[in-house]
Each structure stands twice: as structure tokens, then as C-alpha cells.
Amino acid sequence: MTFTKPLAQLIGHLERLPGVGPKSAQRLAFHILRMPEDDVRRLAESLVAAREQIRLCEICQNVTAQTRCEICSDSRRDSTLICVVGEPKDIAAMERLNEYRGLYHVLHGLLNPMDGVGPDNLKIRELLSRLSGPIEEIIIATNPTVEGDATALYLGRQIKQLGIKVTRLAHGMPVGGELDYADSATLLSALEYRREL
Amino acid sequence: MNVGEIPLGVSSLETRHWRNLVEQRVDLHPRLNVLVGRNAQGKTNLLEAMYLLSTGQILRGSKDAEVICWDETEALVRGVLAESETLLEVQLVGGQRKRARINGSALSRISDLLGRLPSVTFSSQDMALVRGDPAERRTFLDTSLSQLYPGYLQHLANYKRALEQRNVLLRAAQEQNVPDDQFEIWEADMAQHGALLRHRRKQYVLDLHGYGGPILCGLEPGESLAIEYEAKDRHADHEALASALSEGRREEIRRGTSLIGPHRDDLALSINGHRTRTFGSQGQQRSVALSLKMASLKVASEVLGLAPLLLLDDVFAELDRFRQSNLLSLAFDHAGQVIMTCTEVDQIAASALALGQVFSVESGQICRA
Ligand SMILES: [Zn+2]
């Protein structure tokens, strides 16, 4: 079935979004056609505004509307401490703790040859260029997956060469969780990374 | 069954929209259950439902969607463990991941079912253990070990993932320069998990040979079965594997694939020094496959201190009375609950039938006979 040109174009653009198949693209397009014209205009404007105004922080590569993000501009934060994460959403998780007072660095992905992601596709050069100033510790907080571990190892080696302390977030049992219901993978890593009392 | 071993089994089994078992509920005998029916009536489907509860997996050859009744959107298998009265459930919804619950609590991964109801199966497909590619025998080792050590599965998954990533880099390096440090980060994971996989597999095969060598299901007097782990390279520990991976890199780039590590190993089976894959009659090959499975039953019961579930699919028709009674006494010695299928009830000795319960299976209906 062929749609009239403006509709076909809209469907085509929606279809290119991640997680949107041809069927849901059609459904979204027809939903947009039924929306009040003002709402559609505001949606379109917010898409353009977000694209125009949101950029990567020049220091930590987090998404921000300024040149420098709020965390990097906050003089009360400890600039000798950098926590390295895979994605911007990981910062939000750490910040909810309200415990960590250092800065961040977002890699925007993990090393993954199968998906064509090598060191040059991540914000690694930007991280290394931050290490010329006074740094106490780099905390690597990539996911506990094969790719997260490989990325941590890659960064760890490069940073250690510069004589800077590098740590990796521990992985193990969820606090307050019951041993009986822990999944085997978590329990196994908790056993491997056990510590002396 | 040895003294002190806990017999494992399911006291009642329910299926909903599971293959042709549309709505079935069966109370099973704690020791022996014989399912009798013509082909394609549903007796193997019940065996598969038990396997699903045991491993969270569908016996090979089937995709998830194929096990859901035609025209239905989801299937459910539910069983109560005989000893602990634990309720195990596996739910399949078309197009989604399988979900498992224990006593109503959802598990984060289906593989967390492993270890609750360890099992050993034997069917005609297991002839591939003797005749098939090395991959068949590695899968046998890996699935057996995952049941004994649930953490093994995680090491295996991590190893395979790192191996795939390294293989992509090996192929990329045929066209462009890939710095050593990019290889090393995947090789570190391969060495760590690979050494562990090899260690577990070698120990397990020693046990199979030690406990299992004497178990000769159906072999002739004077024939002796040797079961050996065949590592394709000699690098056993973590460091040796890591340096071998780094040294072999140049050749592996040329070949475009990883040549060192447990993903290439095999299980060597031989009778009186002759490899059974190429040597031996069909009868001998079947005997070897059955001996291997019964040895794995015995090892599982020794390692776990439990008597595992034993699932035998249409095995008896091929065996004479002497070999049948031999197999049954092994089953009773080392298994907890036994579930077997056959096409004619008179294939099985009356003295054996008296020890358990016979069910007739017809058009997806299971009835006590
Ligand atoms: Zn920033």
C-alpha cells in the first residue's frame, strides 16, 4: 500500500528510529495526524531545539545545554577524582546516591569489535587529555559484562602507565538480597571477588 | 541409589498448551514411570516438559515458538519437586524470552533454574555423541557441567563472547593494523575463563572414566571403554593460555580464527584402543553413547550427593532382556526418579513394571494404565 507523499515521508523518518518497525512507524504517523496542530508544532520544535541546544560537555562529554555541564562547573566537586561511565544515564544513577563528590567522564559506549566499536569510536582520547592535571584516582564504572571488563582493562592499562591510581567498581551480592534468590552469575562474581573480614 | 542420597523427582506435573499436551496434570511415581504409546501421541512431549523444568532449555532441534500449541500465544509447564515440595514453573510466550518462577518468585534468568532438578537424558539423538562432530561432545560436557556447577555456564558464556570479539579483530587485522593491546583485553578474558572451563572439563572426564569405565551398557565381555579429554593444545593454566594466545596471534590472523583454547577440544571415546567414531558397529556405538550417559548419571550423583532425574526416550526397543535389566538396575542404583517411554508395554519386563507406574499416552491424553 502506498501513502500520499508527506505521510510516506513521515513514516520513513520514524522508521529509522531505533526500536521502531514499519508497523509502529505507521501507527505513530497516524497518531501524529490526529493530534491538534499546536501539539504537533511543539513536538517538532522540541526535536529541533534539543538537537540544536544539546551538546557534549567539553570536559566530561556528558550531554548538556551549556559548553560545560553543571557537574563540571560546580566548584565544590573534587576535580582530582574522575568516575568513568559508559553512558550518560549511568551518571544519573551515581548521582542519585548523593555520595560521590568527584567528576565524571562518559565514554559513549564500550569496546565492542562485533559492533564495530574500537577505541577511536569512544571518548578515550578526551579522557586521557584530562589526566595532565592533578588527579588522585580514576574510578572505572563500566558495566560488569565482557565488554565492560575489556574496556576497563584497556583504560586501566593506559592510565596506570601515567602513574595514576585506577580502581574498578566491585561487583557482587545485592545488599539486603537473599542468597537463595541471587542469580548464579552474581553469586559467582561475589564469590570470586570476596574480601577478608 | 546410595544411602543418604536424596532422590530427585517431580511428584506432580502440569502442562498447558505445551506441544500436544493441551491441558494435562499427572501424578508421577517417585521411582519409575513408563509412558506407553504409539509415535506422535505425546509421550516424548512429557519427557521434554520434565527436561524444561530441569534445565530451562528445550531439548535440541526445537525453537521456543514450536513448543506452544498451534493457535495459542503461551505455554506453561509446572512441576512440584517430590522432596521439598518446591514449585517450579516455566512459561513460554511467543516471541519473548522464557520465564521461570520458583515458588512464585520470578528468576532473573532462566538459567537460574539449573541445579534444582539435575537430570540426565538419553534418546536416539544421543548417537551423535559418538558419530557427530566434536561440537556435539563439547555440548554434552558443557550441559552436564552446567547442571553440576551453575557458575560454569557464566564462565562459558563469557568465554564464548570474548572469543567472538577476538575473532572479529583477527579478521579485521587481515585488512588493517590492529594494535596488540586491543587483542590483549579479550585474550585476558579468554585465558581466565578458558583455563577454568578446561580444568572443570578435564576433572569431569576423569570422573566419567573412573566411575563410568566400569559401566558398560551393552558392550560385550572383553570390550573396555576409554573416555578421555582431548585438549587440542597443552596450555592448561591461565598464564600459559594467555601467552599462547598472544604468541599464536600472527598465525591466527592469517587463518582468521582462534586456534587455541577449549572451544576446539574434544572428548575421545574408544573401545579397546579403537576410536568409536569411525570404528564399531551401530550397536556398539549405541552402547557407547548409553554408557557415557549412564556414567554421567553416576558422576552427577557422586558430585551432588543427590540422585538425579533420569529421562529415557524409546531406549528399550533396541536392547535385549539382559541389557534391559542391566540398564534398569543401573538406573535404580544411581537415579532418583526415572521416566521412560516405549511403544509397546511388553518391551519391558513385568518385574520392572511392578516397581513403578505405567501410563498410556494417546492424542495428548495421559492416563494411568
Ligand atoms: Zn561535564
Return all residues near A56 (Cβ < 8 A) that are at least 6 apart: A62, A63, A64, A106, A123
CB A140 within 8 A of CB A148: no
Give the helix, strand, coil percentages of chain A, each rounded to 5.
50, 15, 35
pLDDT band with cut points at 50, 70 and 90 for residue B7: confident
Domains recognised in chain A with CATH numbers:
5-53 (1.10.8.420), 69-168 (3.40.1360.10)
Closest residue, chain B, to A118 (C-alpha): B182
Apex B269 CA angle, B265 and B272, nearest 5: 145
Average per-residue pLDDT for chain B: 90
Gap between the Cα atoms of B61 and B55, Å rounded: 15
Measure CA B357 to chain center. Answer: 25
Residues of chain A contacting residue B169, judged by C-beta atoms under 8 Å apart:
113
Contact A185 B182 (CB under 8 A): no
CB B18 within 8 A of CB B76: yes
Per residue in B131-159, pLDDT tens?
999 999 999 999 999 999 988 998 999 99
Choice among A150-159, A168-177, B17-26, B189-198 with the minimum mean pLDDT: A168-177
Per residue in B284-317, pLDDT tens?
888 889 889 999 999 999 999 899 999 999 988 7
Question: Quick check: B357 pLDDT over 90?
Answer: yes
A143 touching B, CB under 8 A? no
Residue A156 CA, ligand 1 centroid: distance in Å: 21
pTM for the full predicted model: 0.87
pLDDT band with cut points at 50, 70 and 90 for residue B211: confident
Q: Identify the CA nearest to A111 among candidates A82, A131, A80, A86.
A: A86
Residues of chain A contacting residue B114, judged by C-beta atoms under 8 Å apart:
184
Contact A185 B109 (CB under 8 A): yes
Choice among A110-119, A145-154, B93-102 with the minimum mean pLDDT: B93-102
Average per-residue pLDDT for chain A: 91
Q: What is the pLDDT of residue B120?
A: 96
Contact A183 B107 (CB under 8 A): yes
Positive or negative: CA dihedral A4, A5, A7, A9: positive
Question: Quick check: A178 pLDDT over 70?
Answer: no
Gap between the Cα atoms of A42 and B36, Å rounded: 69
pLDDT band with cut points at 50, 70 and 90 for residue B60: low
Shortest distance, CA B248 to any CA of chain A (angstroms): 20
Chains A, B: CB contacts under 8 A, how many?
60
Q: What is the pLDDT of residue B212?
A: 64
Residues of chain B contacting residue A114, judged by C-beta atoms under 8 Å apart:
164-165, 168
Residue A61 CA, ligand 1 centroid: distance in Å: 6
Q: What is the pLDDT of residue B4?
A: 59
A112 touching B, CB under 8 A? yes
Question: Quick check: B346 pLDDT over 70?
Answer: yes
Residue A55 CA, ligand 1 centroid: distance in Å: 11
Gap between the Cα atoms of A178 and B243, Å rounded: 40
Gap between the Cα atoms of B217 and A31, Å rounded: 67
Nearest by CB to B154, from A113, A149, A185: name it: A185
pLDDT band with cut points at 50, 70 and 90 for residue B329: confident
Q: 3-state DSSP call for residue A84?
A: strand
Q: What is the pLDDT of residue A177?
A: 63
pLDDT band with cut points at 50, 70 and 90 for residue A75: very high
Nearest by CB to A184, from B150, B161, B166: name it: B150
Gap between the Cα atoms of A82 and A101, Å rounded: 9
Contact B185 A153 (CB under 8 A): yes
Gap between the Cα atoms of B307 and A120, Å rounded: 54
Question: Quick check: A41 pLDDT over 60?
Answer: yes
Q: What is the pLDDT of residue A26?
A: 93
Contact A154 B158 (CB under 8 A): no
Q: What is the pLDDT of residue B236?
A: 83
Higher pLDDT, A186 or A107: A107
CB B46 within 8 A of CB B77: no
Q: What is the pLDDT of residue B278?
A: 83
Residues of chain B contacting residue A153, judged by C-beta atoms under 8 Å apart:
184-185, 188
Per residue in B246-267, pLDDT tens?
999 999 999 999 999 999 999 9
Per residue in A120-154, pLDDT tens?
999 999 999 999 989 999 999 999 899 999 999 99
Residue pointed to by grid coordinates 539449573: B114
Contact A114 B165 (CB under 8 A): yes
Mean pLDDT for B94-113 is 89
A151 touching B, CB under 8 A? yes
Strand B99-102 and strand B105-106: the pairing is antiparallel
pLDDT band with cut points at 50, 70 and 90 for residue B218: low
Higher pLDDT, A191 or B337: B337
Q: What is the pLDDT of residue B213?
A: 62
Residues of chain B contacting residue A147, judged by C-beta atoms under 8 Å apart:
161, 165
Question: Quick check: A176 pLDDT over 70?
Answer: no
Nearest by CB to A183, from B108, B164, B184: name it: B108
Q: 3-state DSSP call for residue B367?
A: strand
pLDDT band with cut points at 50, 70 and 90 for residue A68: very high
Q: pLDDT above 90 covers what percent of chain B?
A: 63
Eight-class DSSP state of B307? E
Shortest distance, CA A169 to any CA of chain B (angstroms): 18
